[in-house]
Structure 1
Amino acid sequence: MNAPHTLHVGLGDRSYPILIGPGLLDAGADWRTHIHGRHVLVVSNEMIAPLYLSRVMAQLGGLHADALVLPDGEAYKTLDQIARVLEALATLGASRDACVIALGGGVIGDMAGFAAACWMRGIDFLQMPTTLLAMVDSSVGGKTGVNLPAGKNLVGAFHQPCAVVADTDTLDTLPDREYRAGLAEVVKYGALGDADFLTWLEARTEALNRRDTAAVTEAIARCCAHKAAIVARDETERGERALLNLGHTFGHALETECGYGTLLHGEAVAIGMCQAAALSARLGMAEAADGERLARLLQALHLPVAPPQGLDAEALLAHMRLDKKNLGGRLRLILWRGIGRAEIVADVDESDVRAVLETAA
């Protein structure tokens, strides 16, 4: 196997590597060094475990290792499932030098990471993302948490992994819909801060749609490099890191209102980015043509650009009021000045947001 592509998230004594490449699940020599104690709990789900769990466990010889398989899907990203992870750690006898390995997509990564943050006030966890969305976004940066009926990711913690191991071979078993959802987060990086990358994506839609290895690997590496740089400058989202939420306030509201799992996260983000672009145009911040260009790229990647029909604008707005970026009871959104120029906009008038939501309804 060729040496993996390696990036670093620079956070002082909490810095960690991102390894990207094929065959990494079977290459324990590349990642076992990041496990410091003898207790390891591998957390996966019912879809991923039959495919990859035995391979990861085979690399943990000599350690006191166990596995926990959770139900698959956003609907199970709950405190009840976190309790199951904590009970499994207790049964394992996990000490403060234990490590939790998150083997799966963003839901597993968020839950395993949150449980690791809670166990004995914080133990190591290692991200092994198996979806494109998790590889380019949720596995990097230390955001962990769970959903409540009132909204997405309202309970959580910042808890950085000790390493991210992205085995690109796992994308071969990813269903088409899940793969496309991941492409929405790829597009996000170009839309929020790298116009050249968005142009690069426009030129490679065919290659990305057929999962060309070189194109997908390059896209993952560029997204991770972009996010690693932002996280190093703003770990706990006091400023610049909030830009990574372009489309997410609208998108999270859609996920909550539609019912978790009805829209995949990436699908909701794709729609949300288009709504953020429409609001930016309404406020005179950007040309409508920029939003149209973004929508064309998303459509070329077989992603939705408009919400399901019949949603209630007031219900969506109520969900948006619970967004963690809001301050002083006023909406604070990530909008843009055009492709590659996202910015944080405070005190957004709800009437303008409502107009965008009603237009899309």
Structure 2
Amino acid sequence: MASISNAFSLSLPCNRIANSSSDFNPITSALSGLDSGEFSPGRVAVSKPSGIGGRICANATPVMDQPVGEKSSGAPTIVEVDLGNRSYPIYIGSGLFDQPELLQKLVYSLRLVFRFSQRSSYLVLMGCSFDRHVHGKKVIVVTNTTIAPLYLDKVVEALTKGNTAVSVEYVILPDGEKFKDMDTLMKVFDKAIESRLDRRCTFVALGGGVIGDMCGFAAASFLRGVNFIQIPTTVMAQVDSSVGGKTGINHPLGKNLIGAFYQPQCVLIDTDTLDTLPDRELASGLAEVIKYGLIRDAEFFEWQEKNMEKLIARNPNALAYAIKRSCENKAEVVSFDEKESGLRATLNLGHTFGHAIETGFGYGQWLHGEAVAAGMVMAVDMSYRLGWIDSSIVKRVDDILLHTKLPTAPPETMTVEMFKSVMAVDKKVADGLLRLILLKGPLGNCVFTGEYDRKALDDTLSAFCKS
């Protein structure tokens, strides 16, 4: 009988070769349900080549009480986002702006092809590539009026220290969600064109989620795609929007409807930036941290319940751990589903309701995390009405959000019709069917589905809206 063979390729940093395992098996994936009405993360079965690729397994990370202590500068924690030749590191730590070697780091990788047949399997070296996080000699930093006075000089120094060949331009945008639009985006393109940036330039996003999304979309669009680095300065951006390559702007009829998937070269998270973060922004970011526990990491949620006081008090060890664990969860999901065909959509628990609040109530009236918090309560309420979770989960979600001083209901001005009108153009609508992320089963489990009793949605909306 003829030999049956196949091949797949992957890229990995050279320093991982020594960790290769002799028990190297081809990747198999059963992402069932992607084209049907329901997708549940629990239905994913994946075999990963042992020791190669460094994919994060978030649920295998032990959850421990974080000791109270002072922050300490040193080597960063690194979480790898595994996307083949688009893989990149997330550097997490204190004092990283004082470590210019991170942004200027030389990145090198081997390209291997694994071939397998009925008789044998072997690796073939296809090539080795070298580059730096900062490409070329021209950099443009995109930031806003709040962040520029605090960190722009430090970042410029980190980009240029010991490397005088690099020149840095910058553009300072107005601060706020209401400026996440096409008119503001054009200011980035204006500066890039005026500065005669070329295809080897690097765009650097310095700020929160709005800046990261807009800078990333600009990088994806300018000259049909240039290099891009994320330096998030808020909890929201550090645990969510800076990781995974979602970029874009808002439209008056809906949030984040215009954009592209575009991965950064690296993400640099200096936790010292949280020292200047307002309390309201801190709480807003913690909504996304809570989300990870609810949808896929019950142990992490339990840790949050025990340590929320430390997080609110900005204990550096607790914050660093929460950021790391959140990034691990998102990195794992993104590595399986980069462009949100199924599994990645589950990261949007509460976002369909939350985006409706942001759009209907007015961009910037509530912070993103505040809207998501109220949206999560509504999604949990609907899950309970469907009989998919028990009442104890409903109470625990309410309790932890109240403890974090986050909203547990939408603004009083939101009506049922306002919700339905905005949700009708949500990105998760397919063939006219609104699909939602809902909890189902024990804590840490969810589904992405369009198969639910519409009465439950109507009842939830009626319960939270006066009209």
TM above 0.5: yes
RMSD of aligned Cα (Å): 1.0
Contact 1:109-1:144 within 8 A present in 2 as well: yes
Q: 1:184 aligned to 272, 276, 287, which one?
A: 287
Corresponding residue number in structure 2 for 1:342: 446
Aligned to 2:200, the other structure's residue is in SS state coil
Matches within 5 A, 1:118-267: 118-267=221-370
TM-score for the superposition, normalised by structure 1 = 0.98
In structure 2, distance between residues paired with 1:270 and 1:315: 18
Corresponding residue number in structure 2 for 1:268: 371
Corresponding residue number in structure 1 for 2:55: none
Q: Shift in Å at residue 350 of structure 1?
A: 4.3
Contact 1:249-1:320 within 8 A present in 2 as well: yes
In structure 1, distance between residues paired with 2:346 and 2:140: 33
Aligned to 1:59, the other structure's residue is in SS state helix
Is 2:149 aligned against 1:50?
A: yes
Contact 1:331-1:347 within 8 A present in 2 as well: no
In structure 1, distance between residues paired with 2:159 and 2:380: 47
Q: Shift in Å at residue 81 of structure 1?
A: 1.2
Q: 1:37 aligned to 133, 136, 140, which one?
A: 136
Is 2:196 aligned against 1:107?
A: no
Aligned to 2:243, the other structure's residue is in SS state coil
Runs of 4+ in structure 1 deviating by more than 6 angstroms, as ranges, are: none
Q: Shift in Å at residue 347 of structure 1?
A: 4.2
Contact 2:294-2:444 within 8 A present in 1 as well: yes
Pair member with larger Rg: 2
Is 2:119 aligned against 1:15?
A: no
Quickly say closer, same or farther: Cα 1:319–1:350, change in 2 above 3 A.
Answer: farther
In structure 2, distance between residues paired with 1:244 and 1:217: 21
Is 2:457 aligned against 1:353?
A: yes
Corresponding residue number in structure 2 for 1:95: 198
Identity of aligned residues (%): 49
Moved more, 42-51 or 23-32: 23-32
Contact 1:331-1:349 within 8 A present in 2 as well: no
Q: 2:434 aligned to 292, 311, 331, which one?
A: 331
Corresponding residue number in structure 1 for 2:78: 6
Contact 1:278-1:288 within 8 A present in 2 as well: no
Q: What whole-Å deviation, never above 9, does each CA across 1:230-275 have from its counterpart, x for those lacking one? A: 1000000001000100010000000111100111000111111110
TM-score for the superposition, normalised by structure 2 = 0.76
Is 2:406 aligned against 1:307?
A: no
Q: Shift in Å at residue 82 of structure 1?
A: 1.2
Q: What whole-Å deviation, never above 9, does each CA across 1:303-353 have from its counterpart, x for those lacking one? A: 111112131111111111111111110110000114211111114454432
Q: What whole-Å deviation, never above 9, does each CA across 1:63-112 have from its counterpart, x for those lacking one? A: 12100000000000001111111111111211111110000000000000
Q: Which runs of 5+ in 1 are unaligned?
A: none
In structure 2, distance between residues paired with 1:59 and 1:136: 22
Q: Shift in Å at residue 174 of structure 1?
A: 0.2
Q: Shift in Å at residue 199 of structure 1?
A: 0.3
Counterpart amino acid of residue 355 in structure 1: D
Aligned to 1:60, the other structure's residue is in SS state helix
Q: Shift in Å at residue 38 of structure 1?
A: 0.8
In structure 1, distance between residues paired with 2:335 and 2:232: 20
Contact 2:141-2:205 within 8 A present in 1 as well: yes
Aligned to 1:343, the other structure's residue is in SS state strand
Quickly say closer, same or farther: Cα 1:173–1:105, change in 2 above 3 A.
Answer: same
Q: 2:390 aligned to 263, 274, 287, which one?
A: 287
Moved more, 218-227 or 309-318: 309-318
Corresponding residue number in structure 2 for 1:27: 99
Moved more, 301-310 or 350-359: 350-359
Moved more, 259-268 or 339-348: 339-348
In structure 2, distance between residues paired with 1:60 and 1:167: 14
Q: Which runs of 5+ in 2 are unaligned?
A: 1-72, 106-132
Moved more, 281-290 or 195-204: 281-290
Aligned to 1:357, the other structure's residue is in SS state helix
Counterpart amino acid of residue 268 in structure 2: V
In structure 2, distance between residues paired with 1:49 and 1:314: 40
Aligned to 2:366, the other structure's residue is in SS state coil
Contact 1:130-1:166 within 8 A present in 2 as well: yes
